[in-house]
Amino acid sequence: MADTTVISKIAEHDKPQQSDLDKCVHCGLCLNACPTYRELGVEMDSPRGRIYQMVQIASGAPITDSYREHIDLCLACRGCESACPSGVQYGRLVEAARAEIETHTERPLGTRFVRSLVFKHLLQSPAMMTLAGSMIYLYQASGLQRLTRSSGLLKLFGKLGRLEQLAPPAEVPFFFNKIGRTYPAEGPKQRRVALMAGCLANVSFARLNEATVRVLQKNGIEVVIPDGQGCCGALHAHAGIRDEARKLARRNIDAVLGGGFDAVVTNAAGCGSTLKEYDELLEHDPAYAEKAQQFKKLMRDVTEVLGEAPLVAGMRNLPWRVTYQDSCHLAHGQKVRKQPRSLLKQVPGLEFREMPLSDMCCGSAGIYNVLHTEMSLNILERKMSAVNPMKVDVIATANPGCMLQLRAGARLFGSGQRVMHVVEVLDEAYKK
Ligand code: SF4
Ligand code: SF4
């Protein structure tokens, strides 16, 4: 039954804008780039179909459960944006559609509780993340995880059991204790950058953050991890919780601007595309619109910063066959495709193999794999069926969320390929 309970009013500028909707000429050239359409073959689960439904809502149709489901099932991967010849900014549209849904419908009590716990508390609280991370660490380090996985017990838990396969690791010591520190450049200092350490990444990708610092240092870059930073708000913006995303954006801008940095860097492509779009998020905030523009000008993915000059010499031979999975928010959201490949190709001995459909989403998409586990795993299985014949040792990518998903893919549908971030490959090469 349609649920159209209005629980609050949405600002006009947070709804899908008519000028954006009008750009779609319904040509359908985006359909094949859409993972949910490829999976289901249903027009309403294609970019064109979703835009058509947004147009109906903008014309006064009610927000129904069916509309919400089709919009929810979108990965927000923006593959359709790259395929679209008319320049439709689909990422902007789907975020606005979700913001409209969020304020016009009331979700079931349990869903609201989980969403509030995750978005308003867990992701914003280092203390809660440390607690959750410590519990995961105990589960993993005690051998309980190995036992549950090998015993077949997980099958009895249905969706919960499948979710366990996608759970992030906990890497002690967590990265939170590095926030506020400065790491000097090795050799003559070329630049000074601020590193955004992420939120969950402090717990689940602490070693990746450390590797990122080391590789930047090695390449003559001083790295500051500014105090006062926190979650970037990407997951909030993708889920349509825009006011919460704005709060987090203001906090990060305050933490970084005025620090005299040549760039602000992230190793998480999903965070990067939101960080680069703070100007859109805050364009109607008179106190922050200008600051958000300045922040956007400084924001870079780590592969962009490292790709500005040839890598410093001193890498050892890595006789690995490596392929690269484009992170959607790097390739489609930020249009960064060349740099990660070029960095990998500079590693001595490394054999680079191009993956077919490398910019097709792996099914990770923030917390999509948690909310739509079945669809996510189907997309992942399809991805791994393209990777397996390539006989590579390593799947490299540029986003922690994709790493988790691909690791599950290598375990469930692959041949145990190693999954690494591009900077982890470089870090490995720089090790003596
Ligand atoms: S989003 Fe672009 S490619 Fe897709 S139907 Fe509309 S105009 Fe065509
Ligand atoms: S963002 Fe991705 S899943 Fe959503 S409509 Fe576009 S291509 Fe399909």
Strand partners, 191: 221
Check if 28 has its Cβ closer than 6 Å to any atom of ligand 1: yes
- Judged on CB neighbours under 10 Å (0-12, 13-18, 19+), 351 is middle
Q: What confidence score (pLDDT) does residue 20 get?
A: 97
Helix ranges, 59-218 (H): 65-72, 79-83, 90-104, 109-115, 126-141, 144-151, 159-164, 201-204, 206-218
Best mutation site among 24, 54, 70, 77 for ligand 2 pocket (most ligand atoms within 8 Å of CB): 77
Q: What confidence score (pLDDT) does residue 104 get?
A: 83
What is the rounded CA–CA span in Å between residue 249 and residue 274? 9
Check if 30 has its Cβ closer than 6 Å to any atom of ligand 1: yes
Statement: residue 105 has pLDDT above 60? yes
Statement: residue 154 has pLDDT above 80? no
**What's the token pair of residue 35?**
């993972």
- Centre of ligand 2 from the C-alpha of residue 75, in Å: 6
Q: What is the pLDDT of residues 414-424, one digit of tens each?
A: 999 999 999 99
Which pairing describes strands 221-224 and 182-183: parallel, antiparallel, or unpaired?
Answer: antiparallel
Q: Take atom 4 of ligand 1 and give the residue whose Cα is closest.
A: 30
Longest dimension (CA), the chain: 65
Helix, strand, coil percentages (3-state) for the chain, rounded to 5, are 55, 10, 40
Is the CB of residue 30 less than 8 Å from the CB of residue 91?
Answer: no
What is the rounded CA–CA span in Å between residue 253 and residue 245? 12
Q: What confidence score (pLDDT) does residue 9 get?
A: 65
Q: Assign residue 220 a region: left if phi > 0, alpha if psi is -120 to 50, beta otherwise? A: left
Averaged over 317-336, what is the pLDDT? 98
What is the rounded CA–CA span in Å between residue 363 and residue 369? 7
pLDDT band at 6 (very low <50, low <70, confident <90, very high): very low
- Centre of ligand 2 from the C-alpha of residue 28, in Å: 12
Listed residue (101, 127, 102, 134) closest to 115, CA to CA:
102
Q: What is the pLDDT of residues 193-230, one digit of tens each?
A: 999 999 999 999 999 999 999 999 999 999 999 999 99
| Nearest ligand for residue 363 CA | 2
Q: What confidence score (pLDDT) does residue 13 get?
A: 87
Q: What confidence score (pLDDT) does residue 3 get?
A: 37
Check if 24 has its Cβ closer than 6 Å to any atom of ligand 1: yes
Check if 42 has its Cβ closer than 6 Å to any atom of ligand 1: no
Check if 55 has its Cβ closer than 6 Å to any atom of ligand 1: no
| Nearest ligand for residue 55 CA | 1
Check if 48 has its Cβ closer than 6 Å to any atom of ligand 1: yes
- Centre of ligand 1 from the C-alpha of residue 26, in Å: 5
What is the rounded CA–CA span in Å between residue 178 and residue 100? 38
Is the CB of residue 30 less than 8 Å from the CB of residue 84?
Answer: yes
User: Which atom of ligand 2 approaches the CA of 328 most closely?
Assistant: 2
Cβ neighbours, 10 Å, residue 148: 15
Q: Take atom 8 of ligand 2 and give the residue whose Cα is closest.
A: 34
Q: Take atom 4 of ligand 2 and give the residue whose Cα is closest.
A: 74
Q: What confidence score (pLDDT) does residue 373 get?
A: 87
What is the rounded CA–CA span in Å between residue 372 and residue 139? 24
Check if 79 has its Cβ closer than 6 Å to any atom of ligand 1: no
- Centre of ligand 2 from the C-alpha of residue 387, in Å: 21
Check if 29 has its Cβ closer than 6 Å to any atom of ligand 1: yes
Prior bond of 47 cis (ω within 30°) = no
**What's the token pair of residue 51?**
């835009």
User: Which atom of ligand 1 approaches the CA of 23 most closely?
Assistant: 7
Alpha carbon of residue 197 to chain centroid:
13
- Centre of ligand 2 from the C-alpha of residue 125, in Å: 31
| DSSP letter assigned to residue 153 | G
User: Which atom of ligand 2 approaches the CA of 37 most closely?
Assistant: 8
Q: What confidence score (pLDDT) does residue 4 get?
A: 36
- Judged on CB neighbours under 10 Å (0-12, 13-18, 19+), 27 is exposed
Q: What confidence score (pLDDT) does residue 367 get?
A: 78
User: What phi and psi values does residue 181 have, to the nearest 5 degrees?
Assistant: -90, 160
Question: 288-295: long-range contacts at Cβ-Cβ below 8 A with a sequence spacing of 24 or more?
Answer: 288/249, 288/250, 288/253, 291/253, 291/257, 292/249, 292/253, 294/257, 295/252, 295/253, 295/256, 295/257, 295/264
Q: Take atom 6 of ligand 1 and give the residue whose Cα is closest.
A: 24
Q: What confidence score (pLDDT) does residue 102 get?
A: 87
Is the CB of residue 128 less than 8 Å from the CB of residue 121?
Answer: yes
Structure-token match 């990422």, residue found: 91
- Centre of ligand 1 from the C-alpha of residue 81, in Å: 8
Statement: residue 310 has pLDDT above 80? yes
Helix ranges, 357-399 (H): 368-371, 373-387
Q: What confidence score (pLDDT) does residue 432 get?
A: 83
Burial of 365-378, coded b for 16+ CB within 10 Å and e otherwise, reads bbbbbeebbebbbb
Q: Take atom 8 of ligand 1 and give the residue whose Cα is closest.
A: 27
Q: What is the pLDDT of residues 33-57, one digit of tens each?
A: 999 999 999 999 999 999 999 999 9
**Which residues have C-beta within 8 Å of that of residue 347, sequence separation ≥ 6?**
315, 318, 425, 426, 429
Q: Which residues line ligand 2 (CB under 6 A)?
A: 33-36, 47, 50, 74-80, 90
Structure-token match 């500005």, residue found: 308
Check if 47 has its Cβ closer than 6 Å to any atom of ligand 1: yes
What is the rounded CA–CA span in Å between residue 243 and residue 127? 23
Q: What is the pLDDT of residues 331-387, one digit of tens each?
A: 999 999 999 999 999 999 999 999 999 999 999 987 788 888 899 999 999 999 999
What is the rounded CA–CA span in Å between residue 278 and residue 292? 6
Check if 78 has its Cβ closer than 6 Å to any atom of ligand 1: no
Q: Take atom 2 of ligand 1 and give the residue whose Cα is closest.
A: 84
User: To the nearest whole percent, how much of the chain has pLDDT over 70?
Assistant: 95
**What's the token pair of residue 23?**
């750009």
Statement: residue 160 has pLDDT above 70? no
What is the rounded CA–CA span in Å between residue 264 and residue 125? 22
